[in-house]
Amino acid sequence: MAEFDTGELSGRADLALTRDLCDHCLGRLFAHRGTGMTNKERGERLRASVNALRDLEGRLPAEHQICWLCDDLFRSLPRFAEAAAEAMGSIGYDTFLIGTRVEVDIADREERLWGEIGSEDVETIKAELNREIGKLVYSLTDKDVEFDHPDVVAVVDTRFAAVELDVSPVFIYGRYLKRSREIPQTRWPCTRCRGRGCERCHGTGKMYSTSVQEMIGDPARAMLDGVDHAFHGMGREDIDARMLGIGRPFVLEVSKPRTRDIDLAALEEAIRAGSNDDVGVLDLRMSDRSEVRRIKSVSPNKSYRAQVRVDGKLNKELVIGVVRSFKNARITQRTPSRVAHRRADKDRVREIVKAFVEDIGEDVMTLTLETEAGTYVKEFVSGDEGRTRPSLSEKLGVPCRVEALDVIAIHDQEV
């Protein structure tokens, strides 16, 4: 503690002590001087030094009755800590952080004092309260303080020792499979009633009775005793397209969980059973918010199986040659008419990376395509009345359309 020179600071401390300050509030004025001690210890030493000086000069010592600044708020530290520990005891968590609310008047008086004494070495009363309550809660609960990503922040309102919990969401990563052509990826509120329930949605508030999000999120929310869920997918497929292969990466976010313990194998089974196998999940593991950003930032290639209906008879050799000619071809797609109401109308150039004929009949064929992210496959096949060029229809010289589409691979592990 050698670097804490009370002599150098005693003039300013003497001035501060023209008001009645507790040791915390006195020491906090010099919080950035001297390490390895609390503000209370700083205050005690400064008070002793000031009083020694006053004694020499025949002045009265600075006595402490009730702190002008904080009303001796720090005497209630144990009560605040107990209230925080008790509130957090109602949920499951491993790490925490303490926050505080203090009366506006206290913050005002603190700033007034800084104006008189100087603010270069100060710390705010909130910072000290957070730290000192945190230390006590740590000793009460044996849970760890975590500054960046705590499981829960307990905000203590110091006026009433009331505690509000800000519980961090739980994030779960996985890959989903969708074997139905009738469910969207995410919950889709009714566009007429915006979720309130109306005639159009038969009172459900939703355009579709369920979604991949609900099939995964509802059982997870129940197991975590949370409030709601959000679904972050690595892109999405059309409602009528299945998602097969090893699935599409997603992160599920469950808000305000009362427990953070979840049996992921049991969740996987609950999803399978709850969706009648329409939705499945693979590779479930715990995750965090940074993975949401990662998932949203990548745009991998996708592989599709497309069943294509042709308006006319197919010449096998011609078809195989045309399809093969699309390998590594660049096509220009103007925003499809079916999505033009929600996407900007513009031209996009996309690559058809691979194209194979898997099976061919009289007027129907099955293609396997790997395409660059953002390719509209249905429009590549149909041509979308000339908005996509070149297209399969254009090159074959007969109208073609996708009857059934499956995503069979998301190539995220290759990027």
Which residues contact Zn ion by CB under 5 A? 22, 25, 67, 69-70, 190, 192-193, 198, 200-201
CB of residue 255 to Zn ion, shortest distance in Å: 24
23 is an active site residue: no
Closer to Zn ion by Cβ: residue 141 or 204: 204
Compute the distance between CA of residue 17 and CA of residue 278 in angstroms, rounded to an integer. Answer: 73
CB of 132 to Zn ion, least distance (A): 12
Helical packing angle, 39-56 and 6-16, nearest 10°: 80
Report yes or no: 230 and 204 within 8 Å, Cβ to Cβ: no
**Of 72, 121, 157, 238, which one is the catalytic site residue?**
238
Closest CA to 29 of 93, 150, 158, 125: 125
CA-CA distance, 126 to 134, in Å (whole number)?
Answer: 12
* 125 vs 365 by CB, closer to Zn ion: 125
CB of 299 to Zn ion, least distance (A): 33
User: How near is the Cβ of 232 to Zn ion at its closest, in Å?
Assistant: 25
Closest C-alpha among 371, 340, 339 to residue 355: 371
Instruction: Give the residue with the Cβ less far from Zn ion, 102 or 172.
Output: 102
For the record, the structure tokens of 165 come out as 């919990």
Which lies closer to Zn ion via its Cβ, residue 25 or residue 319? 25
The residue with its CB nearest to Zn ion is 190
Q: Which is nearer to Zn ion, 197 or 300 (CB)?
A: 197
| Min separation Cβ 154 and Zn ion, Å | 22
Dihedral sign, Cα of residue 79, residue 84, residue 89, residue 90: positive
Which residues of 127-240 form beta strands (DSSP E)? 144-145, 152-157, 162-167, 170-178, 228-233
Q: What is the distance between the alpha carbons of residues 114 and 50, in angstroms, rounded to a whole number?
A: 19
3-state secondary structure at position 400: strand
Active site residues: 238
